[in-house]
A and B are shown apart, each in its own frame.
Chain A
Amino acid sequence: MSSVAIVFWKELREILRDRRTLVAIALAALATPIVLFVISQVSTRTAAQTYTAGYSGDIPAGLGILFNATGLKLERVADPAAAAKQEVDIGIVFTSSGIEEYYDPSRQSAQIADIRLQTLLGRYDAARIAASLQQKGVDPSVLNPLPVTLHPLSSPTQAAGNSFLSFFLPYILITMSLTGGLSAALDSSAGERERKTLESLLLTPAPRGQILIGKILAVSLISLTAAIAAIGSMLIALSQISFGISGQQAQITLTPLAAVVMVWLAVLLAASFSSLTIALGTLARNFRQGQAYATPLYFITIFPAAMVLFIPDFSPSLWYYLIPILNAVLVLRDAIVHNALSWSPLIVTSASLILTGGLCFYAALRLFTREALLVRS
């Protein structure tokens, strides 16, 4: 058996006996469905929620029925402006000349109630105008001289679902590729120094490069397992849970193309992160110091996924695909949102991540063969 295989199997055995790593993988598998379930409950509840409109004055004829149909409950109050601050979601004063509306934009419930009120009033106004025109023998269609017929090329519900997945999936993939194997990486690098096993290990005739590769492969496998466990459990959860999207109950699905791209990116990310975290762990004297060194990685990895969230229509040039992690997020987003794969971005992304992994491996090897590694410990 080669030294790579010997180290790989030993590391794997140790990792699987380490409670920290097992807890990390279990959390990876369980946390996502729990979060999704909560999101689903909130979104469903928001869609079905009835909001209260406190009012004074006389309700115009026919408007009350529309209120009930739109999920706004009318409740008479003495002072709608005061009530809108806390007691009710929105305050309305019906006067002979129109409607006074009071709402607090800092309250989410008030925002939703306002949108519903505007929609409702729009319908009411249109219906009243149409009725008046008909009474006078005028065709109401004169009000809409250029009618538009919509032909959405994809289901709006699916588009909303894709938008959700294009943020959530890369975020899960990247964080789990990093955190799933972090404990194992630090244990097999900084842990060797802390336990004082490093000297004995380096005393064996096994080439140090092979020892390092064995460690990186074991950690990569754990990272990959954590990432796939998290995403697999997320997809299973998505197939069971429906969300309130665009006013409808809908399920979110991942296309086979996106799944293949995701697994390929997970492999590349896991290998790069494993090399990087082992390099950082090799710099550290103990596990705790290694954790301190690795902490900035959380921010660095979350940032690209956040970019996609805040700039949803971000259309980067090919150069952007050279930036590690961001490129993985972009490729995955394209695969999810457009259900299409452009070879150029994928090739550039793969080359960039392989190069990053190679550089991290080289750094880890340089650190692993330094005399200072032993002298400092």
Chain B
Amino acid sequence: MSPAAVRVDRLEKTLGPNKVLRGISFEAQPGEIFGLLGPNGAGKTTTLRIICTLLAPDAGSVEVLGFDTRVAPQEVRRRVGVVTAEIGIYPRLSARENITYFAELSGVLDGELLRRVDGVIERLDMGSFAQQRAESLSSGQKQKVAIARAIVHDPPVLMFDEPTSNLDVLASREIRDFMVESRGRGKCVIFSTHVLHDAERLCDRVTIIHQGRVVASGTTAEVRGNFRELEDSFLSLVEAAP
């Protein structure tokens, strides 16, 4: 197996009075979709925020392609793209301007900027609305802008945090297709969700976390075990947890 794209080791984090993470560990590889599963409040988003350097761990460590998040946070940010359920884009900028802004801030060089921006616009089929102001776009179109913004610097690690929770069926499907396509390009895709049908369909390996602890980890088939569906296994594990 190739070296891990993301290595999370005994991660602990307290936010306010709540101990959110209590020793989370897992590894995600290039060319796989890795599912980070758990009920609401399990600690999935906090884990992702630590991986992408938005939060610092209280204990434990995270490495992204060999870069420690505490030692080299900027190197980590160059290698990570994040898509969340909350589609925050600048309403008074056009779709293209939104993407270009993030490409520039991510260090895409001037000579390559146009090619990269045009590339993601074409790849995500955004040509028809690229010049429109973001405030006039539909939710699905905005989500495409958010994805384009996250991938325009071509990061080797992509993280999706409940990306389909505010989208309709068609837009959700496009996101899923995009994750599969990214895996085909050799990217490490970390998919955080509580929609277990999506996880079962897409993920190569999963880790289930509950109350800040890992309760199961392995390939989707391994975690499902003898249950008919991943959801049944998940419920069994969560109910059995202390």
In the complex, the answer to whether A6 meets B101 with C-beta atoms within 8 Å is: yes
Chain B window 36-75, contacts with chain A (Cβ cutoff 8 Å), 1 for yes, 0 for no:
0000000000000100111110000000000000000011
Question: Smallest CB-CB separation from B159: which chain A residue?
Answer: A203
A202 at the interface (CB under 8 A from B): yes
Which residues of A lie under 8 Å from residue B16 when comparing CB positions?
A: 375
Stretch of B24-32, B105-113, B187-195, B224-232 at the chain-chain interface:
B105-113
In the complex, the answer to whether B80 meets A203 with C-beta atoms within 8 Å is: yes
A197 and B88 contact, Cβ closer than 8 Å, known pairs A202-B54, A205-B106: yes
In the complex, the answer to whether A204 meets B88 with C-beta atoms within 8 Å is: no
Chain A interface category by residue count: 20 to 34
In the complex, the answer to whether A204 meets B90 with C-beta atoms within 8 Å is: no
Which residues of B lie under 8 Å from residue A65 when comparing CB positions?
A: none
A205 and B90 contact, Cβ closer than 8 Å, known pairs A1-B104, A199-B84, A374-B49: no
Stretch of A9-17, A220-228, A246-254 at the chain-chain interface:
A9-17
Stretch of B91-99, B122-130, B200-208 at the chain-chain interface:
B91-99
B15 at the interface (CB under 8 A from A): yes
Number of residue pairs across A and B with beta carbons under 8 Å?
73
Min distance, Cβ A344 to any Cβ of chain B, angstroms = 44
Question: Smallest CB-CB separation from B109: which chain A residue?
Answer: A1
B10 at the interface (CB under 8 A from A): no
A151 at the interface (CB under 8 A from B): no
Which residues of B lie under 8 Å from residue A7 when comparing CB positions?
A: 105
In the complex, the answer to whether A203 meets B55 with C-beta atoms within 8 Å is: no
Min distance, Cβ A184 to any Cβ of chain B, angstroms = 12
Which residues of A lie under 8 Å from residue B86 when comparing CB positions?
A: 196, 199
Chain A window 9-49, contacts with chain B (Cβ cutoff 8 Å), 1 for yes, 0 for no:
01001100110000000000000000000000000000000
A203 and B52 contact, Cβ closer than 8 Å, known pairs A197-B88, A375-B15: yes
A200 and B15 contact, Cβ closer than 8 Å, known pairs A3-B105, A6-B101, A205-B78: no
Near B by CB (< 8 A), chain A positions 189-227 give: 195-207, 211
- Point out the residue from A197, A204, A374, A375 that lies within 8 Å of B106, measured CB to CB: A204
A205 to B74, CA, bound (A): 5
- Point out the residue from A10, A17, A198, A375 that lies within 8 Å of B88, measured CB to CB: A198
Question: Smallest CB-CB separation from B107: which chain A residue?
Answer: A205
In the complex, the answer to whether A10 meets B101 with C-beta atoms within 8 Å is: yes
A112 to B11, CA, bound (A): 81
A334 to B86, CA, bound (A): 54
- Point out the residue from B56, B90, B107 that lies within 8 Å of A14, measured CB to CB: B90
Question: Smallest CB-CB separation from A197: which chain B residue?
Answer: B88
In the complex, the answer to whether A374 meets B54 with C-beta atoms within 8 Å is: yes
A371 to B53, CA, bound (A): 10
Min distance, Cβ B135 to any Cβ of chain A, angstroms = 10
B117 at the interface (CB under 8 A from A): no
Which residues of B lie under 8 Å from residue A202 when comparing CB positions?
A: 54
In the complex, the answer to whether A6 meets B105 with C-beta atoms within 8 Å is: yes
In the complex, the answer to whether A6 meets B104 with C-beta atoms within 8 Å is: yes
Question: Smallest CB-CB separation from A18: which chain B residue?
Answer: B92
Which residues of B lie under 8 Å from residue A6 when comparing CB positions?
A: 101, 104-105
- Point out the residue from A1, A200, A211, A375 that lies within 8 Å of B149, measured CB to CB: A200
In the complex, the answer to whether B52 meets A197 with C-beta atoms within 8 Å is: no
Which residues of B lie under 8 Å from residue A3 when comparing CB positions?
A: 105
Question: Smallest CB-CB separation from A192: which chain B residue?
Answer: B88
In the complex, the answer to whether A197 meets B54 with C-beta atoms within 8 Å is: no
Which residues of A lie under 8 Å from residue B15 when comparing CB positions?
A: 375
The interface centre, meaning the residue of A7, A14, A18 with most chain B CB atoms within 10 A of its CB, is: A14
Question: Smallest CB-CB separation from A196: which chain B residue?
Answer: B88
A1 to B80, CA, bound (A): 22
Which residues of B lie under 8 Å from residue A198 when comparing CB positions?
A: 88
A195 to B149, CA, bound (A): 15
In the complex, the answer to whether A14 meets B93 with C-beta atoms within 8 Å is: yes
A200 and B92 contact, Cβ closer than 8 Å, known pairs A6-B101, A205-B107, A374-B49: no
In the complex, the answer to whether A204 meets B77 with C-beta atoms within 8 Å is: yes
A324 to B105, CA, bound (A): 35
Min distance, Cβ B136 to any Cβ of chain A, angstroms = 13
A196 to B74, CA, bound (A): 21
Question: Smallest CB-CB separation from B53: which chain A residue?
Answer: A203
B175 at the interface (CB under 8 A from A): no
Which residues of A lie under 8 Å from residue B89 when comparing CB positions?
A: 195, 197
In the complex, the answer to whether B82 meets A200 with C-beta atoms within 8 Å is: yes
A195 to B146, CA, bound (A): 13
Which residues of B lie under 8 Å from residue A10 when comparing CB positions?
A: 90, 93, 97, 101
In the complex, the answer to whether B101 meets A195 with C-beta atoms within 8 Å is: no
In the complex, the answer to whether B105 meets A14 with C-beta atoms within 8 Å is: no
A6 to B86, CA, bound (A): 24
Question: Smallest CB-CB separation from B15: which chain A residue?
Answer: A375
Which residues of A lie under 8 Å from residue B104 when comparing CB positions?
A: 1, 6
Interface residues of A (CB under 8 A from B): 1, 3, 6-7, 10, 13-14, 17-18, 195-207, 211, 371, 374-375
13 contacts between A and B (CB under 8 A): A10-B93, A10-B97, A13-B97, A14-B90, A14-B92, A195-B90, A197-B88, A199-B86, A200-B88, A201-B105, A207-B74, A371-B54, A374-B55
| 8 nearest A-B pairs in the assembled complex, by CB-CB distance | A196-B88, A204-B105, A197-B88, A17-B92, A205-B77, A205-B74, A196-B86, A206-B105
